[in-house]
Amino acid sequence: MTTVVEATPASDRELVLCRIIDAPREKVFRCWTDAALLPKWFAPLPWTTPSARLDVRTGGTSAVVMRSPEGVDYPSSGIYLEVVPNQKLVFTDAFTKAWEPSEKPFMVGILTFEDAGGGKTKYTATVRHWSVADRDAHDKMGFHEGWGLCTEQLEALAQTL
């Protein structure tokens, strides 16, 4: 089970989740960047991820679909702004394919993967929102609970690689 690490947002538009994951950062990073692995952990159960297309490079696109238990699909697409293998991923939904602006930008995700010793990873997910209202909406959607559960699922998968 992941270990919670206290993390303070740097601004009133951020949400932050920080955990120590009992798996090496190369494996944790791979779970985020391998389109065959992402669907195995990305949505908080009982939700699922039936589709994931990832072009993990700076300027590359992602298209992920999450499905509710009722069978409703929630597609999300975006662009990778920065990719540093095994260290950092930065992505946004502000753009879709080929740098086309999205209809309603919501967030920028910043993921860091740091060696925590003993084969463990300090994993920090910082989500910056365009407005405080967007941050509040994401918080009310269950950011900490949902991303926390997904992090547990991420750890379980990374331990099997």
Q: Report the distance separating Cα 135 and Cα 61, nearest Å.
A: 23
The whole-model pTM stands at 0.93
For the chain, what percentages of helix, strand and coil (3-state, to nearest 5) are there? 25, 40, 35
Q: What 3-state DSSP class applies to 89?
A: strand
Residue 78: give the domain boundaries.
3-158
Q: Which amino acid is at 7?
A: A
What CATH number has the domain bearing residue 38? 3.30.530.20
pLDDT tens for the chain, 161 residues: list them: 788 888 888 899 999 999 999 999 999 999 999 999 999 999 999 999 999 999 999 999 999 999 999 999 999 999 999 999 999 999 999 998 778 898 888 999 999 999 999 999 999 999 999 999 999 999 999 999 999 999 999 999 999 99
Number of domains present in the structure of the chain: 1
